[in-house]
Amino acid sequence: MAQVESFSLDHTKVKAPYVRKAGVYTGPKGDKVSKFDLRFTQPNKEFMNSAGMHALEHLMATYMRDYLEDIIDLSPMGCRTGFYLTVWGEPDVKDIISGLEKTLKEVVKATEVPATTEVQCGNYLEHSLEEAVGYANKLLSQGISDKVFG
C-alpha cells in the first residue's frame, strides 16, 4: 500500500490554524515542487461547511496568485479542515503565511464569488460568500502559526 504523507501526521496533536510544509518533491530534471498544509480549523473538532469552503476555494484561487508566485494548485481537503497548496520551488512557510494573510484580507472585502456559472464550476449553486468571509475573518483574527503543534 502506498504511504500517504498526511496519513502519518497525528491529527490529534496539531494546533490549528497553521501552515506546514508537507513535502518537497524533485522532478527528473531537478525541478522542486513544494506542498503545504494550510490548516484552517482544528481537526476532529471543527470543520467548514461545504458551501462556505467551496466559495473560499474559488476566492482564494483567484486572489492568491496576486500574492504568491509559482502556484501550481490549491485544493480543498476532503475533511474540510483546510486546503493543500502546491507551488514550484521551495518557499519558506513564513512566506506562504504572509501570502495567505494578504489573500484572506482580499477575501473579506469580496462582494461576489468568482466563476460560479454552470460552465465554470462543477457545483455552481453550492457557494456561500457569507460563510467564506466568516472563515477568512476568523482565521485573520486567530492568526496563522508556522508551528504545527502550537
Q: Which residues bind Zn ion (CB under 5 A)?
A: 121
Neighbours of 38 (CB within 10 A): 25
When the beta carbons of 22 and 61 are compared against Zn ion, the nearer one is 61
Shortest CB 86 distance to Zn ion, Å: 18
Instruction: Give CA–CA dist 143/50, Å, rounded.
Output: 23
CB 76 within 8 A of CB 52: no
Closest residue to bound Zn ion by CB: 121
Neighbours of 145 (CB within 10 A): 17
Shortest CB 122 distance to Zn ion, Å: 6
Q: Can you read off the three cell numbers belonging to residue 87?
A: 507551488
When the beta carbons of 44 and 123 are compared against Zn ion, the nearer one is 123
When the beta carbons of 33 and 121 are compared against Zn ion, the nearer one is 121
Shortest CB 118 distance to Zn ion, Å: 11
When the beta carbons of 37 and 57 are compared against Zn ion, the nearer one is 57
Question: What is the H or E stretch that residue 28 is in?
Answer: none
Q: Can you read off the three cell numbers belonging to residue 7?
A: 496519513
Shortest CB 90 distance to Zn ion, Å: 29
